């Protein structure tokens, strides 16, 4: 017997959300061309992508963890910050004379491992005893983030560190439509997109991904099918914190490292997750780009007309409120 063609896997509501998001991006581009010269438009859009993908690196793990474990990990920003500081530590630990390229790659790998390892420990030791008490977990992750920030402040001082050295190949600028843009920020965009696609492939194409998606829907049944769901919980949590730490390290040659950087990114990451629809990975991925572009556009407008970037943070809050008023579950959220 032949198999029937699959119906649209994505329901019409998913297509609607995609179309809405597409129209929103188009709208932002039009706004850009109304307000700015073409060179500025290109820089603003690239800058929006760069910001959005950094938000994505923090939000991706939070969103999957929230879906699977029902924990909103408020310490996620701290792992981002730890990633940046790990970069500094690794740069400093390598013997003098080590080429920047080697330091840079070692720092990327090292920060990812530090983030993943600490994440695994956090889940296994701190969160596991509290799965029956979700509110305690939120309080715990909040407390943990405070502890991490204070420890870093004690070790490295409150002031923060200047950006670490980039590899020469990435330490250039290029011009696009007459605007100047740093090559390194394009590197961040590339890293973000590569991770976005890799995580998506992991979730859609591998057995682990299938088990994770099944666990998001009914983790008890996954366990009753013979799968050690606790091990999956630890793995997913660690993957999420590893990606956040990698994000922090990727940002370090640009933003430097300072104790409160995690908190700044955490807040926006939460807004991204809410706009995208809690626990929808696709929603988080798309919303992070939307939020990045919105931020960059309104930042440029407000710099141009009011000489202050104030509109940038206000605009994404307004964006979130509007989305929630129209669709209380977020763009891609269900029920």
Partner 1 sequence: MSAVLSVEAIHTFIGQFHILQDVTVEVPPNSITALLGRNGAGKTTTLRSIMGLNPPTRGAIQFHGQAIHGRKPYTIAQQGIGYVPDYRAIFKQLTIEENLKVAERKKGDLAGKRDFIFEVFPDLQRLYHWPGGQLSGGQQQMLAIARALVPDNTLLLIDEPSEGLAPVIVEQMMAAIRKLSDQNAVLLVEQNFIVASRLADRYVIIEDGRSVHAGLMKDLLNDKALITKYLGAA
Does 317 participate in binding partner 1 (rule CB under 8 A)? no
Give the residue with the Cβ less far from partner 1, 5 or 95.
5
Task: Select from 19-27, 223-231, 289-297, 309-317 the region that touches partner 1 (CB under 8 A).
Answer: 223-231
Which residue in the set 223, 260, 302, 329 belongs to the binding site for partner 1 (CB under 8 A)?
223
What is d(CA 64, CA 212) in angstroms, rounded to the nearest whole number? Answer: 9
CB 226 to partner 1: min, Å: 4
Both structure tokens of 61:
């793990």
Binds partner 1 (CB under 8 A): choice among 29, 121, 186, 214: 214
Burial of 306 (0-12, 13-18, 19+ CB in 10 A): exposed
Site residues (CB under 8 A) for partner 1, limited to 3-42:
3-7, 9
Question: Using CB under 8 A, which of 98, 175, 183, 228 touches partner 1?
Answer: 228
Residue number, 96 or 335, with CB nearest to partner 1 = 335
- At its nearest, how many Å lie between partner 1 and the CB of residue 189? 30
Token readout for 69 is 């474990």
Among 38-46, 167-175, 189-197, 222-230, the segment contacting partner 1 (CB under 8 A): 222-230
In the list 96, 162, 220, 307, the residue contacting partner 1 (rule: CB under 8 A) is: 220
Q: Which stretch binds partner 1 (CB under 8 A): 118-126, 171-179, 219-227, 285-293?
A: 219-227
Residue with smaller CB distance to partner 1, 153 or 213: 213
Surface-to-core class of residue 128, CB atoms within 10 Å of its CB (0-12 exposed, 13-18 middle, 19+ buried): middle
335: buried, middle or exposed (CB in 10 Å: 19+, 13-18, 0-12)? exposed
Bridge partners, residue 175, by sequence:
180
Q: Cβ(78)–Cβ(262) under 8 Å?
A: yes
User: Whose CA is closest to 31, among 319, 296, 309?
Assistant: 296
Which position among 224, 310, 318, 322 is part of the footprint of partner 1 (CB under 8 A)?
A: 224
Shortest distance, position 250 Cβ to partner 1, whole Å: 31
Q: How far is the CB of 228 from partner 1 (least distance, A)?
A: 5
Q: Hey, which residues between 148 and 207 contact partner 1 (CB under 8 A)? A: 207
Q: Which span sits near partner 1 by CB under 8 A: 87-95, 173-181, 191-199, 212-220?
A: 212-220
Q: List interacting residues with partner 1 (CB under 8 A).
A: 1-7, 9, 207, 210-211, 213-214, 217-218, 220-229
């Amino acid at each position: 017997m032949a198999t029937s063609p699959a119906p649209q896997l994505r329901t019409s509501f998913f297509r609607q959300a995609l179309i809405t998001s597409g129209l929103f991006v188009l709208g932002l581009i039009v706004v850009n061309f109304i307000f700015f010269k073409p060179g500025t438009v290109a820089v603003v859009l690239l800058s929006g992508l760069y910001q959005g993908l950094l938000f994505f690196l923090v939000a991706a793990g939070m969103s999957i963890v929230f879906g699977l474990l029902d924990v909103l990990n408020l310490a996620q920003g701290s792992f981002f910050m730890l990633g940046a500081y790990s970069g500094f530590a690794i740069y400093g630990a390598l013997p003098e004379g080590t080429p920047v390229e080697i330091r840079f790659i070692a720092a990327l790998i090292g920060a990812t491992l530090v983030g993943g390892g600490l994440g695994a420990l956090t889940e296994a030791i701190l969160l596991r005893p509290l799965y029956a008490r979700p509110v305690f977990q939120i309080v715990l992750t909040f407390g943990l983030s405070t502890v991490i920030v204070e420890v870093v402040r004690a070790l490295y001082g409150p002031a923060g560190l200047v950006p670490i050295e980039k590899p020469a190949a990435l330490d250039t600028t290029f011009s696009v439509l007459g605007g100047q843009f740093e090559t390194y920020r394009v590197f961040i965009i590339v890293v973000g997109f590569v991770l976005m696609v890799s995580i998506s492939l992991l979730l859609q194409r591998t057995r682990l991904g299938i088990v994770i998606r099944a666990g998001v829907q009914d983790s008890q049944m996954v366990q009753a099918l013979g799968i050690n769901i606790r091990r999956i919980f630890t793995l997913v949590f660690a993957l999420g914190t590893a990606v956040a730490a990698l994000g922090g390290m990727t940002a370090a040659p640009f933003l430097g490292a300072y104790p409160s950087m995690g908190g700044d990114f955490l807040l926006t990451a939460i807004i991204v997750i809410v706009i995208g629809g809690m626990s929808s990975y696709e929603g988080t991925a798309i919303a992070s780009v939307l939020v990045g572009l919105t931020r960059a556009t309104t930042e440029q407008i407000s710099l141009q007309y009011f000489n202050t970037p104030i509109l940038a943070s206000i605009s994404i809050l307004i964006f979130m409120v509007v989305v929630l008023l129209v669709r209380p579950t977020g763009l891609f959220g269900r029920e």
